[in-house]
Amino acid sequence: MKVLNKGLKYTPTPPADTDTLSVDIKEFCRKLRLKNHFGDKESKTADESIVRNKSTFTPEKGKNKDLDLYINHLSNFPLIPKPQDKVKNNLPFKQQQALYRLQKDESIIIKEADKGGALVIMDRIYYRDKIQEQLNDKQYYRELNDNMEKKTKRNINKLISKFPHCTTEKEVDYLTKFEVKTSNFYGLPKIHKSKEVETAVQQQNCAYIEINSPKDLKFRPIVAGPQCPTHRLSHFIDLILKPLCQYVPSFIRDNFDFLNHLPAEVKEDAILVFQYKDIMIYEVEEQLEGIMLDLLNMSQNPGTYMKEFLRLYKPADKKFADTVIKGPTPNIDWKDDNQLRLLVQDTIAYLDKRWPRDRLELARFGTEDLLKLLDIFPGIFNDEEEKERIKSQFSLLKAFLVNQNPNDMKEIYEVILAAKQERFRDIIKVIELMCCISPCTAECERGFSTMKSIKTPLRNRLEQDTMQHLMHINLSGPSVEDYNPDRDLNTWLTSKGTKHVKGHMISPVLSMPRKNKELEPEDK
């Protein structure tokens, strides 16, 4: 359990890999020669290629004797570590043995959960059957008789050769000359959507949950194809389209850019879409009632898009408008759509909530949610005495709403927000905050993706402050094109301490020798 609790991103101390270190030293020496060869000269070639294959050009020796001496010394430096330099393993011996047994156990498979980051250990046969069951769904997958990778690669080559004036020679090399590897398919268990897992968590309530092959467990399909036939073409098209996105009228870069697009005055109809700071809480109640009526109407009468779909869809002729459909064309009776009916019922049940009448239930109602809200915004609610007053006023507010007929919220909230009665002085801040909290989680998901790209297996020990600074730079900092690294590079080069190149420490003894000075015997 101690090994598994460290997570999949934890990196145990690797053994000494002299081969990889030797390759990295050669690449570093090549970059030194390239820097010396080209210097700060601007390229005279009018190459407008957006993408290109990596160059293998290495300048010849003899142009800089000091550089040749330094590279020769670096290349001949012994890579085999001495016994006294042995690095201590970051795992105790028993945990190393446990990790080895987990690696060798072919009866299980370990995957990260789709949400939450929990580790899921599954029986390999159960996992295989579940993935096979998903692939057998002919609505989304179909079996191919032949490997389509070579055919797809040939089609891409034909497409590029058909338009020779649209790409440069280097772009053609990049799009056509690369090694293709078969993509891998795997699934991440959606434990947050499994009722059996949820029941087991509630019943067992311990550090790990044991459940025998849950039948309702679903998997998120993942196709890992970093070297599939289309990955370079997709990257090329993305680079072309990315600068054009900002000219699309609907393009919004992030939340702050969205605020810049808001007009000075918002029409009354916009309240249906946006949570604006001037909207009153009683208006939210009215809008919820309107939404529920619209949902009930949607379950009885087709909307504009459904009418258009039904008009164009002709199952008897196997056509949609003028397009012939290959495959099954079932008759669609949207009124008998069980999923739509359940969606409408569940949504209305969620929206149609009222204050409870039972005294004990009323005492518990909303208290836990209020405490969470106060903890989420410590910058606003940082006074402990104020928090206690808010809790006390929340109880008064609930009693006040029950006595004033909670089904009619307009008059109640008009009094609270307009008059701001003294007994609700502190909880008014919570009510006003609720008016402007966005229900959108896109910013959170974007933050999670950024964090995952920063905290890689090689950087699994980043401190919280460092992680926060890197995420802030990534999300809110300047673009790579606008960033000037000269000042930061100068600070790094002139600072004290040991320098690292691609994760390998450069010993101070490998510093550049002075001109016209022979190496000392011990350095040799």
State the burial class of residue 409 (Cβ atoms within 10 Å of its Cβ: 0-12, 13-18, 19+): buried
Give 88-120 as a 3 state SS string: CCCCCHHHHHHHHHHHHCCCEEEEECCCCCCEE
Round to whole Å and give the CA distance between 193 and 199. Answer: 11
Indicate if the pLDDT at residue 503 is higher than 60.
no
- Are 210 and 306 in the same domain? no
Residue 18 CA: distances (Å) to CA of 23, 85, 276, 510, 514: 9, 14, 61, 18, 29
| pLDDT digits 0-9 by tens, 357-387 | 565 666 777 778 888 888 888 778 888 888 8
Q: Tell me how many domains the chain contains.
A: 2
pLDDT band at 274 (very low <50, low <70, confident <90, very high): very low
Q: Give the model's confidence band at 130: pLDDT under 50 very low, under 70 low, under 90 confident, else very high.
A: very high
Domain annotation covers residue 338: yes
More confident call, 346 vs 466: 466
In a domain, 439, yes or no: no
How many Cβ atoms are within 10 Å of 427's Cβ, its own excluded?
20
Rounded Cα gap, residues 61 and 175, in angstroms: 33
Tens digit of each residue's pLDDT (9 = 90 or more) over 180-231: 888 889 999 998 888 888 888 888 777 788 888 888 899 999 988 778 888 8
Helix (H) / strand (E) element for 454: namely: helix 442-454
Instruction: Indicate if 225 and 310 belong to the same structural domain.
Output: no
**Looking at 191, 215, 232, which one is the last position of a domain?**
232
Instruction: Show contacts of 19-22: CB within 8 Å, 24+ apart.
Output: 21/79, 21/504, 22/79
Is 228 in the same domain as 128? yes
pLDDT: which is higher, 159 or 319: 159
pLDDT digits over 12-49, tens only?
888 777 888 888 888 999 988 888 888 766 555 667 88
In this structure, are 220 and 292 located in the same domain?
no
* Same structural domain, 224 and 158: yes
Q: Who has greater pLDDT, 108 or 407? A: 108
- State residue 340 phi and psi, 5-degree precision: -65, -40
pLDDT bucket at 516, cuts 50 / 70 / 90: very low
Q: Are residues 126 and 226 in the same domain?
A: yes
Same domain? 192 vs 128: yes
**Which class for 424: exposed (0-12), middle (13-18), buried (19 or more C-beta within 10 A)?**
buried
Are 126 and 209 found together in one domain?
yes
Asked if 127 and 225 sit in the same domain, the reply is yes
Full residue range of the structural domain in which residue 319 is found: 285-353
Residue range 412-426, pLDDT digits in tens: 566 666 555 667 778
Q: Provide the percentage of residues in the chain whose pLDDT is more than 90.
A: 6
Whether 516 is in a domain gets the answer no
Query: Domain boundary residue among 333, 353, 373?
Result: 353
What is the reported pTM? Answer: 0.47
Amino acid 507: pLDDT: 46
pLDDT at 411 (0 to 100): 58
30, part of any domain: no
How deeply is 433 buried, as exposed, middle or buried, from its count of CB atoms within 10 A (0-12, 13-18, 19+)? middle
Residue 176 lies in a domain: yes
**Is 91 buried (19+), middle (13-18) or exposed (0-12) by CB count in 10 A?**
middle
**Which of 331, 353, 375 is the last residue before a domain boundary?**
353
- DSSP letter for 497, please: S
Of 176, 186, 185, nearest to 229 by C-alpha is: 176
pLDDT of residue 499: 61
Residues 164 and 227 reside in one and the same domain: yes
Do 301 and 227 share a structural domain?
Answer: no
223 and 320 inside one domain: no
- Residue 76, domain member (yes or no): no
Task: Say how far apart CA 93 and CA 320 lie, in whole Å.
Answer: 66
Q: Cβ contacts of residue 124 below 8 Å, gap of 6+?
A: 106, 107, 108, 109
- Interior CA angle at 219 toward 217 and 224, to 5°? 160
